[in-house]
Amino acid sequence: MRAILTARKTLLGKLIDIELSMRGILRGFGLKVGTVTRKSFEIRVRELTEGQSTLTTIMEGLLKARATLVAEVAKLHRELLTIARADRVCVRLMTVPGVGALTALAFKTAIDDPTRIAKSRNVGPLFGLIAGRYQSGETDIIGKITKVGDVMVRTALFEAANVMTFPTQVQPHPSSVQHSPIQLLFIQAGPPASSAY
């Protein structure tokens, strides 16, 4: 499982590198891709290079390489989801808000054998999630986290903690909100008429 996670991360990094390279090349010609999604990136690049044979030639090769990387990342991602859904420990970890399949798999593979960790408080230092200390004589400074250990797991846990700390607020559609009978009377009556002084 760890090898699949690492391969997915590597391919995703190369995909981002190609996209940034394409943006840089286009920027040299005064063309800006702007904010796009993964799906609309190719469409936007083709719009910008339309009618420019040199740019079209350059971008075609990069777009083909990008399409291959997108397909391979998707294939590895589906494989990871299948593995996570079949694993009891991962399914249990995914019940925590903010923990998805990738976080659960990264955590499970990093822990590997839970019996080697005697107490749960020893898990934080394993991933560098403990404050560093500088001690000399009477000086005792507690600093930032040490950042030693598994970077992939530390990043995944940090993202999961952010989701738990700052949950996204989804606003319900007005038609799905249940109103009390008194609220319905006010809604039907409309806004109050403004009084003239």
Per the CB < 8 A criterion, the answer to whether 143 and 152 are in contact is no
Whether the per-residue pLDDT at 63 is higher than 80: the answer is yes
Q: Over 50: is that where the pLDDT of 142 sits?
A: yes
Q: Does 196 score more than 70 pLDDT? A: no
130 - beta bridge partners? none
> How far apart are alpha carbons 38 and 48 in whole angstroms?
16
Mean per-residue pLDDT over the chain, rounded: 85
Tell me if 11 sits within 8 A of 69, measured CB to CB: yes
Structure confidence at residue 44 as a pLDDT band (50, 70, 90): very high
What per-residue confidence (pLDDT) applies to 187?
A: 53
Distance in angstroms (rounded) separating the CA atoms of residues 129 and 122: 10
Give CA–CA dist 182/4, Å, rounded.
57
How do residues 148-190 score in pLDDT, each as one tens digit?
Answer: 888 899 889 888 888 888 876 665 555 555 655 555 555 555 5
Q: Which tens digit of pLDDT belongs to each residue from 120-137?
A: 888 888 888 888 888 888
For the chain, domain boundaries: 2-86, 115-165
* pLDDT tens track for 85-102: 999 999 999 998 889 999
